[in-house]
Structure 1
Amino acid sequence: MEADSRLPYTVLLQVRDLLTVKTFYQHTLKLEKPIVDSSFWVEFAVPNVGVLVLQQTNIVAENGGPRHGISWLLPVENLEAKLDEMNGLGILPLRPPIEIPGRRSITFSDPEGNLFTFYSQTGEPTG
């Protein structure tokens, strides 16, 4: 039996409005066409990350606002260009960019309040 060559699941987000959130990730964040696309389960392959899964559920609070604690990460080459792009789309960061060892990051939320963070390399991590 051959090893499964699929990317590992890295993040599963439970959402109320699957179509709205899927459209946001595919068209606003420009993720590739889903590799699995059903009425209750959508998978996006995210290069250098793994698989982002969206699962339709009714247990998510409607209009619950930004969720805290978990944010999935998306690497980008140029964080400032991505910030400008998101601002141009009317999507504002939840807080100013932060510097972490070897990286700079900025966090946003999707239409249901799920957090996502873009980051870029700034040099070698220190520590």
Structure 2
Amino acid sequence: MRGKPMAPKITKPSAEKIVKDIRRETRRYFSAEEKIRIVMECLRGEDSISDICRREGIATSLYYTWSKDFLEAGKRRLAGDTARQATSDEVKVLRKEARDLKEVVAELTLENRLLKKSANGTGGDDE
């Protein structure tokens, strides 16, 4: 006797995976200004760090990461390290400017050599 045909087994995602997916989709992203505001508020000391983190909906470990980054950036700035990441547009402009300047230097060098040769009265390639 034959049994009923088996239906394909449908696996349900685990509750943990569903929660992770929801968190990933609803994750808040903080701008640099928001991060600075939160760090500065905590540094003022008017409220406790845990109260501010709870109110802002962030983990205290995230606050401490932002705080460390904020203080390190200030330390580098005070030490005179003003280097920053250049945007790709800035890099393109600077590369073009460098290329143009190299061409000008090459032209002036050639012109200078030609003038020296004519001033010495030598027309040959001997130097």
Q: TM-score, normalization: structure 2? A: 0.22
Q: Highest Rg: 1 or 2?
A: 2
Higher strand residue share: 1
**Which protein, 1 or 2, shows the higher relative CO under an 8 Å CA cutoff with sep ≥ 6?**
1
Q: TM-score, normalization: structure 1? A: 0.22
